[in-house]
Amino acid sequence: MSAAIFDQVRTVLKAIEQEAPQTPEELEQFRIRYIGSKNIIKPLFDEIKNVANEQKREFGQLINSAKQAAEAKFNALKEQLESAADAGVAGNLDLTAPGEPIELGSRHPVSIVLNRIINIFERIGFVVAEGPEIETDWFNFTAMNTPEDHPARDMQDTFYLKGSTEMLLRTHTSPVQARIMTSQKPPIRVIAPGRVYRNETISSRSHCQFHQVEGLYVDEGVSFADLRQTLYYFASEMFGATKIRLRPSYFPFTEPSAEMDVFLGTETEQTYRLTKGTGWLEILGCGMVDPQVLENCGIDSKKYTGFAFGMGIERQALRLYGISDIRSLFENDVRFLRPFTAVV
């Protein structure tokens, strides 16, 4: 008799273990069957009187474990179903609840200025070209007609790769001119933005890496007047300037060479300060591509002429946004960078 009752309880216990209610309805069935007021475990307690005295204790423990197993399983399943319902799986998704806020990024001021310059030149048919930041001495200097003893070659200005006299970090974007001219035939009309490196002491006005944009136009009959008109167009689009001036200058890779100033006037406090009271602001270096540079790159200098120009980006960003320290552009401090979203 006792053995049969023990088996009956064990069967119930096993059944509890095997039950797997999936829905709130099934869980409710489980509750009614094993926990509710008419559950099937309760009558088994009454059977204790039919169990031999020495087995009563063991029987009591067994039947209690069935009761506890039912309660534990019910609680665990209930919690599981409730959290699934919270997650919307059970159809309780609240479509009107506000979403998680999305943080909007902002463009770096250098990128903003760079994109503006690229856009201005793309409108008159220039295409973007790129070159490597690790450059050879030939492209960076030799092809660009920079003599061996030119001060720009001095180890103090140039970062050479460790143990190398041939490989360096480009000191300007001008080597992209040579890369394009050695690989393409005229007409060439490119704009080459990118990062450049110089071994300089870091201060509020200079940094050892910064950005430049290079421009190059090579074709039959390109003249200094074309250069001037192109730069005038740029200055008026970029700064709203109505006047530019070209001052004679020297660069190894151009002949003649010039520096371009734009006229911003002295009417506002900002333009007065920027131009040191003269109204004129220096923007870039330029000139007619030296015939020797064309020849170095395999272009017939009797047939073709070209103009080139190069300008720094950071200084323009500082001017445009009234930033006083160039280092703040490179510190990746979001408190400094975030406000530029509004200016795109």
Pull the structure tokens for residue 202.
Answer: 């870091």
Interaction of residue 310 with ligand DAH, rule CB under 6 A: yes
Interaction of residue 213 with ligand DAH, rule CB under 6 A: no
Please count the other Cβ atoms lying within 10 Å of the Cβ belonging to residue 54. 8
Tell which one of 172, 179, 207, 319 touches ligand DAH (CB under 6 A). Answer: 172
Please count the other Cβ atoms lying within 10 Å of the Cβ belonging to residue 337. 17
**Placement of tokens 């039947």 in the chain:** 63
Contact region with ligand DAH (CB under 6 A), list: 109-117, 181-189, 284-292, 328-336 = 284-292
Q: Does residue 74 contact residue 31 with C-beta atoms inside 8 Å? A: yes
Q: Does residue 316 contact residue 283 with C-beta atoms inside 8 Å? A: yes
Interaction of residue 174 with ligand DAH, rule CB under 6 A: yes
Q: How far is the CB of 325 from ligand DAH (least distance, A)?
A: 22
**Placement of tokens 């960078």 in the chain:** 337
Tell which one of 207, 275, 309, 326 touches ligand DAH (CB under 6 A). Answer: 309
**Secondary structure element (H or E) that encloses residue 274, with its range:** helix 269-274
Q: How far is the CB of 245 from ligand DAH (least distance, A)?
A: 16
Distance, in Å, from the CA atom of 52 to the CA atom of 2, rounded to the nearest integer, reads: 7
Interaction of residue 145 with ligand DAH, rule CB under 6 A: no
Interaction of residue 316 with ligand DAH, rule CB under 6 A: no
Pull the structure tokens for residue 317.
Answer: 């960003």
Q: How many residues does the chain have?
A: 344
Q: How far is the CB of 287 from ligand DAH (least distance, A)?
A: 5
Q: How many residues bind ligand DAH (CB under 6 A)?
A: 11
Contact region with ligand DAH (CB under 6 A), list: 89-97, 119-127, 133-141, 302-310 = 302-310
Interaction of residue 141 with ligand DAH, rule CB under 6 A: no
Name which of 145, 112, 150, 176 is nearest 309 in CA terms. Answer: 176
Tell which one of 227, 308, 318, 329 touches ligand DAH (CB under 6 A). Answer: 308
4: which residues sit within 8 A by CB, 6+ positions away?
Answer: none
Closer CB to ligand DAH, residue 239 or residue 251? 251
Tell which one of 285, 290, 304, 313 touches ligand DAH (CB under 6 A). Answer: 285
Tell which one of 131, 186, 193, 287 touches ligand DAH (CB under 6 A). Answer: 287
Pull the structure tokens for residue 241.
Answer: 């300037």
Closer CB to ligand DAH, residue 174 or residue 275? 174
Tell which one of 121, 139, 239, 251 touches ligand DAH (CB under 6 A). Answer: 251
Interaction of residue 67 with ligand DAH, rule CB under 6 A: no
Distance, in Å, from the CA atom of 167 to the CA atom of 197, rounded to the nearest integer, reads: 13
Q: Phi and psi of 147, rounded to 5°?
A: -60, 155
Pull the structure tokens for residue 39.
Answer: 């559950």
Contact positions vs ligand DAH (CB under 6 A): 172, 174, 214, 251, 254, 285-287, 308-310
